[in-house]
Chains A and B, each alone.
Chain A
Amino acid sequence: MPRFGMVIDTRKCVGCTDCVVACQTENDVPHGYCRDWIRTELAGEFPRLSFEIRSERCNHCDNPPCVSCCPTGASHVEDFGKVVLVTANKCIGCKACVSSCPYDARFVHPDGYVDKCTFCYHRTKDGKDPACVSVCPTHCMHFGDLDDPKSKVSELLRTRRHHTLLPEAGTGPRVFYLT
């Protein structure tokens, strides 16, 4: 079974938000909401400054707190791809998962259930890339099986410096940022 992950090259990302628009179109995300977003981070003191642009989303963590706190099992890890998904007709809208996510990656859909990035599971389970990855004009985003040493994502993680978001939260995020 594959273990899907995403690798994003922050040296190539220009923050154009194409990935955000592609996701909203592909997944019919309601107006005013977003499953992925662009965050820019400026750190340091002038003139020693660093600047990073990141396309962020649910990290499909290896140790997802949103799954363990769900009282109905609506929030779950799919066997194929180890993707974290929400089954809408099992979700009661208690919002425990929303509170438990350190990345604030979830939101309450206007229809009442909790929604978030699915790694475009309807596409990726058939071997396609997620919509955000497929439209990226700078080709800064890569998607694949982290457990396959020959995959592009594994190769990039072997050869490039990278980091994840809030690793201290202990969630084991699977979206990696190349620096």
Chain B
Amino acid sequence: MLELTTTRHNPLIDPALAVWSWEIPVYLFLGGLVAGMMVLAGIAMLRIARGDDPKAFFSLHTPLLGFVLINLGMGALFLDLTHKLYVWRVYLTFQPGSPMSWGSWVLIVVYGVLLASALIRLPDAWPWAGRRLPVLQSWSDAMVARPGLVRTLAWANILLGVGLGIYTGILLNTMVARPLWNSAILGPLFLFSGLSAGAAMVHLAAVVRGERPAPQGMVGGALAAMCQPLGTALPEKRTVDSLIRADVAFLAIELVLIGLLLVNLYTSSASHAAAATLIVSGAYAWAFWGVIVGLGILVPLALQGLELKYFIPHTVVPALLVLVGGFVLRWVMVNAGQASHVVQAAGG
């Protein structure tokens, strides 16, 4: 028996840590989502540099959408800060031991690469901007004319996407005080969750306005530039199928990584086993089994498998479920992780 009483009563610390609310899960989810979209865009760019038709790939059209989403994520992160006026301090230093410092600097590069990637199609996708700023067209032409440059940009997207995806997990992983986060599997898990969410988002973006001609104006054109596939025709069926196949693979790997995370936690110390119990049978079990594993992975896997076999028509339902599952994964890990703590031995 171990009975502890304390006079401490600090807000958001006692009785259980709750300093991070909805903002951090939103930031981690959008960061992972954009990371996944960057990897997919990079793969599409490699195919284009090889000579494939640019219109054949949905994922090439999403860097601008990624730019908007990463800004929303950074907005959520900013809202979470409690000493907001000093946020610029992050960019006056580099702290090699701090994942957050790494992430802050990597995000600057991510911004640059996303904007450069968006330039490849911007004048076509947003004709209003192309007409107002002819330099955009010349930049775009110059990039498309140099396969080496597109290839470099492709690898920058892939490497930064993988880095950003893993970072969102490592950010939590390095905190020794929260046993639920003390597994290096969290990095790859968040990466593959981000990849499946990225594939789902590309999928959704492609169907939003796929069958109509793109608006040409300032506002409509800007919005369309984020999701309108080039041209008026939908990309071929085989590219839709390849996106679904990729998503199935990402989801299957995510499921394996979740299993490994639980094995890792249950075979570690008492603190880690107690932390795992929080999500397996504790307060977060409904969200973990019901939403993350059930609705977010198993149901989309089954639906997409049936779609690929032409047993059921193709819909956006699996993509929506994957996005919901991806967000709830971050929400559960952030909240249950804060509730987990190092278990004190009796008499310690």
Q: Which of A's residues lie within 8 Å of B, judged by CB?
A: 17, 20, 32-34, 37-45, 50, 56, 65, 67-74, 88-96, 98-104, 106-108, 111-113, 163, 165-171
Closest to A57 in B: B8
**Minimum CB–CB distance for B348 against chain A, Å:** 7
CA distance A23 to B207 in the complex (A): 61
CA distance A39 to B20 in the complex (A): 25
Closest to A42 in B: B3
Q: Confirm or deny: B311 has a beta carbon within 8 angstroms of a beta carbon on chain A.
A: no
10 A-B residue pairs with CB within 8 Å = A42-B3, A43-B3, A71-B90, A71-B101, A92-B86, A93-B86, A98-B13, A99-B19, A104-B13, A104-B341
The segment out of B61-69, B157-165, B170-178, B314-322 that lies at the interface is B170-178
Q: Confirm or deny: B53 has a beta carbon within 8 angstroms of a beta carbon on chain A.
A: no
Number of A-B contacts (CB under 8 A): 166
Contact indicator per residue, chain B 324-343, by CB within 8 Å of chain A (1) or not (0) = 00000000000000100110
**Minimum CB–CB distance for A66 against chain B, Å:** 9
Across the interface, A20 reaches (CB within 8 A) one of B7, B92, B174, B338, namely B7
Across the interface, A69 reaches (CB within 8 A) one of B2, B98, B344, namely B98
**Minimum CB–CB distance for B252 against chain A, Å:** 31
CA distance A69 to B89 in the complex (A): 15
Across the interface, A99 reaches (CB within 8 A) one of B11, B98, B338, B346, namely B338
**Minimum CB–CB distance for A70 against chain B, Å:** 6
User: Cβ of A98: which chain B residues have Cβ within 8 Å of it?
Assistant: 13, 17, 19
User: Cβ of A95: which chain B residues have Cβ within 8 Å of it?
Assistant: 19-20, 80, 82
Q: Confirm or deny: B104 has a beta carbon within 8 angstroms of a beta carbon on chain A.
A: yes
Q: Confirm or deny: B1 has a beta carbon within 8 angstroms of a beta carbon on chain A.
A: yes
The 5 closest A-B pairs by CB, nearest first: A93-B82, A93-B83, A37-B8, A68-B97, A112-B83
